Amino acid sequence: MIFQGELVRLYKTDGKTPCGYAVEWTEPRKFLENLLMAVAVLFLFVGVYTSVFLPGAFDMPGSRVWVAFTALAIASFAAFWMLRRAATRLRGNAKVIEFHEDGRIWDSCDGEWKLRVEHIRSIEAIEVNRKPKPEDSNYTHGVRLVTRQGRIARIAQNLEPDDSVTLVVLLNEAIDRVRYVGHGESRQAVNGAEVW
């Protein structure tokens, strides 16, 4: 999967009044990627078997059977290459989290959160899964949010280490932009106290 992450400005229904920022990113479809790679490896084995072992059983180069096995081997290698390429270029699941200037948080999985922007303490990249063998998946990291009360919410998982850092930077940038208040302005929290 090719990671995509983007910071987007949000507008009210009039299309002109800004109201917050959203971060859009993609997470891998691990099952589908693994399935495509497994089928690709199957085609590789078929290609190797039909190109190395089967033509030797029929010792007549140029015969119809030999030509058919050669064509099957070429088709198997082509299928292997196409499936492997499709697995690495597979589109990920699109995720969105929105930070509104009034403090609301909304995401594409859970809808509107009870948590507000002013309750966020930090956003961090974390290692979710260890990679014991070199051939294991690179999707070892995720992103978590820590509140001022010490609660933790996982925002993303199954990302590569660099992609998780990119997502953290985008999320922190969105929160910083939402928290910025112009000169002489203030916002009211739920309890009426000034925020930021």
Average pLDDT of the chain is 80
Q: What is the percent of the chain with per-residue pLDDT over 70, rounded to a whole number? A: 82
What is 5-28+92-195's CATH number? 2.30.29
What 3-state DSSP class applies to 11? strand
The candidate with the shortest Cα–Cα distance to 182, out of 23, 22, 18, is 18
Taking the CA atoms of residue 117, residue 120, residue 125 and residue 128 in that order, the dihedral angle to the nearest 10 degrees is -100
Q: What is the pLDDT of residues 61-89, one digit of tens each?
A: 666 777 777 788 888 889 999 888 888 88
Single pTM value for the model: 0.68
> What's phi and psi for 16, nearest 5 deg?
-120, -30
Query: In the chain, what are the domain boundaries?
Result: 5-28+92-195, 32-88
The pLDDT tens digits of the residues spanning 4-34 come to: 888 888 888 887 888 888 999 888 887 888 8
